[in-house]
Chain A
Amino acid sequence: MPASETPMQRERAVTIFERSKPGRRAAVLPQAGVPEPPLEELIPARLLREDPPRLPEVAEPEIVRHYNRLSRRNFDLDTGFYPLGSCTMKHNPRLNERVAALPGHARLHPAQDPRRAQGALEVMWLLQCSLAEICGLPHVSLQPSAGSHGELAGLLLTRAYHADRGERRTKVLAPDTAHGTNPASVTMAGYEVVKVATNEHGGVEMDDLREKVSEEVACLMLTNPNTLGLFDENIAEIAALIHEAGGTLYYDGANLNAVMGHSRPGDMGFDIVHVNLHKSFSQPHGGGGPGAGPIAVSERIEPFLPRPQVVKRGEGNGRGPHYDLDFERPKSIGRLRGFQGNFGVFIRSYAYILSLGADGLAEASETAVLNANYLKARLAEGRAGSRLPIAFDRHCMHEFVLSGKPMKKELGLATLDLAKRLLDFGFHPPTVYFPLLVEEALMVEPTETETKESLDAFADAIEDILAEAEEDRELAKQAPYTTPVRRLDEVKATRHPVLRQSLD
């Protein structure tokens, strides 16, 4: 053990279960106020639990202290720069938390009669309309719970669309640069994935695509700009190819933050788009959720949308215009989840859209693209320029990908080492080793809510790390030093999984 442990490192991990002492507690429950017969008189004893689950026994001050301590062992967006590619770590306005917590939202039961949930349904309707306009597609379902859930929805919609036409198609095309969720969703939806190659500009390799398009192809899934941060200039031709062959075109909206108010997936020819509200629309990521993945679709896909749909009804039956849940959708693929979706996320995203407005959204994307290109230019200078060259050298959209191949060859530093050393400099590293076709990839997405100063500081840190590595590469190879724990043994965690606290 090194003598120079930080205070945080000295404070070893102790779980809430290990803080438990019999008889301690926090909760004071209400008095029953009703007769209290033995439970066996209400429910047959064989259906009852003998010993209560061994939950921790801890007083409230200790619970608060425990989770505050844990929180200090997390790095977060509110603390520092978080340029995690394809994740759009933009500022999370606190106003959104405040409006989501209003009792009219937070304590509204999902089975409330729509006539007494008009405000909530109106928010959903307005968000649907906003997303439809941003995506350039006429219809929206808010139901999917996250991006990959939206992907699954899109593929099930595609299946229903083809089945309705009496067709049975088996294959889904996706570029080799696609997010991992794309092929995983394809398999879950019962299709076979066919990979499409990437050309020297980072776009879809057209010859390969032409070869693979057939009447067996149900769908092409694409991210545009793609995971290299590049806009595929051939998109109109790609769309035409797929449509001529009878397939649908699916847009993975993870990178929508590049084009809001500038270009719309619907206008590019996409039939189905998912939108990550936790990326472009500022829902906090929560350390891995919650999010929401609404989908926008074209006319031909609309009949198959999940139910229920939020609809606006005109005047009639003595009522003015009002909002309702429409369950009467005979061609619907059915539900993808319970109730109406992640409403708390919808509120936050709608608050974000209201705050920014039409111009603000376009400006957000423009600044995101500006920031990415500026940081790319900064990293093309100095040591980074030669050790970490850009994978595809042209203007990028909201993110870009560097290759650590020369750094590895010349300095003996892997991308992972650079990432771990960045932790000591107070930065969250970029996405590493993705996309797969770039060797030693680093995928950088700064977002629009960073200042020039924070971008400069990040570029300087990369330069410093490369400079120190020329002197002593072990510095980075052994990093990090200052984090609550140092490099962790991930192999052990998988070979000998310990997935819960032993209480025996």
Chain B
Amino acid sequence: MLAAIGVESAADLFEQVPEPLRLGRALDLPAGMSEADVFERLSALAARNADAEEEVCFLGAGMYDHYVPAIVDAITQRSEFLTPYTPYQPEISQGGLQAMFEFQTAMSELTALPVATAGLYEGPSSVASAGYLAIGATGRRRFVVSRGVHPHSRETLSTYGSGYGAEVVEVGLEGGLTDPAALAAAIDEETAAVFLQNPNFLGAVEDVEALGAAARQSGALLIVAVDPMTLGVLRPPGECGADIALGEGQPLGNRLDFGGPSFAFFCGTEELLRRMPGRIAGETEDVDGRRGFVLALQTREQHIRREKATHNICTAQALNALAAMVHLAWLGRQGFRELGELLARRTAYARERLAAVEGVELLHEAPVVREFAVRLDVPVDAVLERCAERGMAAGYALERDYPEHPDGLLVAITERRTREQIDALAETLGAAIAASGGPASHSQAKSPQEVR
């Protein structure tokens, strides 16, 4: 090979790097390891994490410990899906492109909006991407955001907003729900978009249609972040006047992975089609008239449009979106609905069960579907620590994101959380509160009259 190139050694090829810029030493990293040793090393590190196999996990806050069916792994680990690049050569990428097309169909069905993209990175950054779209669509630079929107999404929106130039105005919650009067008052003629989340971060089911009315009147876009797992039972954003519906896709077919990779879905109205961010697959035909799929509307995209692109995204989350599609096909129309019902009923049970524990009260009474917030009489951190000692991740402490709720705990339910586990959570929580010097030190249960 060297002879063909006409050099004496491969090192000669680096002579184009000016001498002072050559490293001239080995990287300060360990020597390479055998496959067996790498496996052992990373297994040992994995063992230092308390995962949902080791602890009963009631943590949610946007990512949930759902059961991922075996066929999702079997299909997404196939080389043909795992190892290709973005489908720039459609003739040899029909599998991936058709999967995107199917995914778009499924997301469009879930959200009841006509146009769906092939997906973005993940939840919060897709909210910020929607903001960028709204500025382009309205020519306005002000966002009105409910405090019920995920704190990570609100922060990401502000981060992006500092770049493309947007003002972010927040509207508070009343009784766990977005305050309708405050929201209407905050929206003005400079408002580019109104952001809601349903269910909101505290688990409450919002009346999106009612809240959105003020946005429609002002000409602002209504952007709604939704939990896809609830869309079998909750009214879809497309029926509530949303211009854009998006959200974190992890609950669909994606594992927790300590926060990623997952994906976001991004759906909208026909009018917004040519402003959409990211890849979109479209149906077409080949020269012989066979049905086929390609990346459509590429003139929106960075590799064609460069500085005039609607977004900068290149690598997205195709494999994660495929996992979601397979999970949804596995659930099917009936199974998806049933799973939503199961979540709603177990969540109702868990909420009632926890509310009956001495030292626990509901943080709000709004309807919930898969997650709910409670208030503890004793410091949350100490209670969580005690629960952890008994093998339970009892929930998400709200204080960091909601200083107004220093005593708040967010509890998430999935189909993996059985009645027995929920009962055990109530007991453990009761005991932990008692041990933390709470009012329940003499009894763990309230009398029936005290409950609700």
14 sample A-B contacts, Cβ–Cβ < 8 Å, listed by A number: A35-B348, A103-B54, A108-B256, A117-B50, A285-B83, A286-B320, A287-B93, A288-B315, A334-B156, A341-B259, A351-B38, A373-B7, A500-B105, A500-B108
Q: How far is the CA of A364 from the CA of B74 in the complex (A)?
A: 31
Is there a chain B Cβ closer than 8 Å to A415's Cβ?
no
List the 9 closest A-B pairs by CB distance, nearest first.
A104-B46, A357-B32, A286-B319, A339-B259, A110-B259, A119-B48, A290-B261, A288-B318, A78-B79
Q: Are B21 and A268 in contact (CB under 8 A)?
A: yes
Query: Do B91 and A15 touch across chains, with their CB atoms under 8 A apart?
Result: no
Flag if B80 contacts A72 (CB, 8 Å): yes
Give chain A residues whose Cβ lies under 8 Å from the Cβ of B195: none
Within 8 Å of chain A (Cβ to Cβ): is B159? yes
Decide yes or no whether A148 CB sits under 8 A from chain B. yes
- Known contacts A75-B89, A289-B316, A333-B159, A53 near B232 by CB under 8 Å: yes
CB within 8 A of A493: which of B4, B17, B255, B284? B284
B172 on the A face (CB < 8 A): no
User: A109-B63, A133-B28 provided; 5 other pairs, C-beta below 8 A?
Assistant: A36-B345, A43-B367, A286-B84, A287-B322, A338-B156
Q: Chain A, interface size: which category?
A: 35 or more
Within 8 A of B (CB), among A115-159: 116-120, 122-123, 130, 133-134, 136, 145-149, 151-152, 155-156, 159
| Chain B 217-260: CB-based contact to A (< 8 A → 1; otherwise 0) | 00000000000000111111001000000001000000111111
Chain A 339-353 interface mask (CB, 8 Å, partner B; 1/0): 111111101001101
CB atoms of A289 and B29 under 8 A apart: no
Q: List, in ascending order, chain B residues with CB within 8 A of A356's CB.
A: 32
B382 to nearest A CB, angstroms? Answer: 12
B-contact bits for A345-389, CB 8 A (1 contact / 0 none)? 101001101111111111000110110011011100000000000
- List of A residues within 8 angstroms of B10 by Cβ: 366-367, 369-370
B101 at the interface (CB under 8 A from A): yes
- The yes or no answer to B431 lying at the interface (CB within 8 A) is no
Whether A53 pairs with B231 at a CB distance below 8 angstroms is yes
Chain B: interface size category: 35 or more
Q: Give the residues in chain B near A181, CB-CB below 8 Å.
A: 302-303, 312, 314
B83 and A284 contacting across the interface, CB-CB below 8 Å: yes
Q: A92 vs B82: C-alpha distance in the bound complex, in angstroms?
A: 9
Within 8 A of B (CB), among A64-96: 64, 66-79, 82, 84, 87, 89, 92-93, 95
CB of B98 closer than 8 Å to a CB of A: yes
**CB under 8 Å from chain B, chain A span 411-449:** 419-420, 423, 428-429, 431, 434
Among A100, A109, A133, contact of B65 (Cβ-Cβ < 8 Å): A109
Residues of A within 8 A of B384 (CB): 113
Which residues of chain B are within 8 angstroms of A397 by Cβ–Cβ distance? 13, 16
In the complex, chain A residues whose CB is within 8 Å of the CB of B326: 63, 67
In the assembled complex, the Cα of A341 lies from the Cα of B261 at a distance in Å of 7
Q: Which of A26, A235, A494 is within 8 Å of B330, CB to CB?
A: A26
A485 sits at the interface (CB 8 A): yes
The answer to whether residues A116 and B50 also contact, given A110-B259, A335-B152, A501-B101 and a CB cut-off of 8 A, is yes
Whether A107 lies near B256 (C-beta < 8 A) is: yes
Contact A333 B259 (CB under 8 A): no
Chain B interface: which of A185-193, A208-216, A313-321, A466-474?
A185-193
Contact A159 B162 (CB under 8 A): yes
User: B385 → chain A, closest Cβ, in Å?
Assistant: 8
